[in-house]
Amino acid sequence: MPVTTADKRTAFKKLHDSGCFIIPNPFDVGSALALQHLGFKALASTSAGFAWTIGKPDNRVTIDDVCNHLTVVCAAADIPVNADYEDGFAVEPEKVAVNVARGVRTGVAGLSIEDFTGDAANPLFEHKLAVERIKAARKAIDADNSGVLLTGRCEAFLRGVKDMKLVIERLQAYSDAGADVLYAPGISTSEEISAVVKAVAPKPVNLLIGGASDLSLQKVAELGVRRISVGGALARMAWTGVMKAAKEMAEKGTFTEFANGYPGGELNKMFK
């Protein structure tokens, strides 16, 4: 029996009921299917990882780029996909609502809205505006009873604003505004993670582990986190292999790095 969008949305909600799971971030259809093949129960898109596949830097893709990408990934995968929907590709709440409604139509099971302005000198939307943007996203999702999970995302730590009080106040406000899941990328210590989990309980928390870390699924679960995403980390790993081999060819005219490539036969079996 084919897996429907409704099936995937129902399954995604159930994943958040208890325990902790890893929601890895593919960057194209092939990587999405590979992660599904490995047994992951859900996926999350990555703004950076996808942008690099089309030759753009992070935060420079258009809503057309992203929605086309999400549509093909959701259609290809039999498991739920959560969308990194950046800032909703708009500032004004009413425009965020229109864009979120469009995102829902791609087939995603969840999407996140962040409070990053795009301006490094003034990185966060004013508190009231940020909350209104989450309310607008919530209203758009509920308009057709889609069942899509909304993640409210505070970018403070990721953008150099290391203020736990601000982060907690914003996440609590986003929760009150209708976010189903709360997310503060950049927090990393057990103390920071526990503080966020406690502050928004009983709603689930997403944790970003985008680099080498001594945290594990078990340890993060013990801290009360519900899901772990990895952002652009898998895409960076893929680019590591490409760039090492390409630089060797360009600089030395040799091809020894190809010995480290994943077997083509195994890839063909996986995608059969």
Residue 42: count of CB within 10 angstroms of its CB: 24
Q: Which domains does the chain have, with CATH numbers?
A: 5-232 (3.20.20.60)
208-237 pLDDT per residue, tens = 999 989 999 999 999 999 999 999 999 999
Share of the chain above pLDDT 90, in %: 98
pLDDT in tens, 135-192: 999 999 999 999 999 999 999 999 999 999 999 999 999 999 999 999 999 999 999 9
pLDDT, residue 189, reads 96
Q: What is the separation, in whole angstroms, between the first and last Cα of the chain?
A: 19
In this prediction the pTM is: 0.96
**Average pLDDT over the chain, rounded to an integer:** 97
Residues 6 or more apart in contact with residue 40 via CB below 8 angstroms: 22, 23, 24, 79
What the block records as the tokens of 68 is 């086309």
User: Residue 61: pLDDT above 80?
Assistant: yes
Assigned token pair, 44 = 């999350």
Contact present, 195 and 167 (Cβ < 8 Å):
no
pLDDT in tens, 9-44: 999 999 999 999 999 999 999 999 999 999 999 999
What pLDDT band is residue 8 in, cutting at 50, 70 and 90?
very high
What distance in Å separates the CA atoms of residue 213 and residue 270, rounded to the nearest whole number? 29
Buried b (16+ CB within 10 A) or exposed e, 73-101: bbeebebbbbbbbbbbbbeebeebbbbbb
* Per-residue pLDDT tens digits for 68-100: 999 999 999 999 999 999 999 999 999 999 999
Q: Decide if pLDDT at 246 tops 90.
A: yes
**Which residues does residue 2 pair with via DSSP β-bridges, in sequence order?**
none
Q: What are the structure tokens assigned to 247, written together?
A: 């630089």
CA 160 to chain centre: 20
Phi, psi of 148 (to 5 degrees): -70, 135
User: What would the pLDDT profile of 112-121 be if each residue is shown by its tens digit?
Assistant: 999 999 999 9
* pLDDT at 2 exceeding the cut of 80: no
Q: What is the CA radius of gyration of the chain?
A: 19
Strands (E), the chain: 21-22, 43-44, 81-84, 110-114, 149-153, 181-183, 205-208, 227-229
Average pLDDT over residues 127-139: 98
Contact 134, 150 (CB under 8 A): yes
Provide the pLDDT for residue 129.
Answer: 98
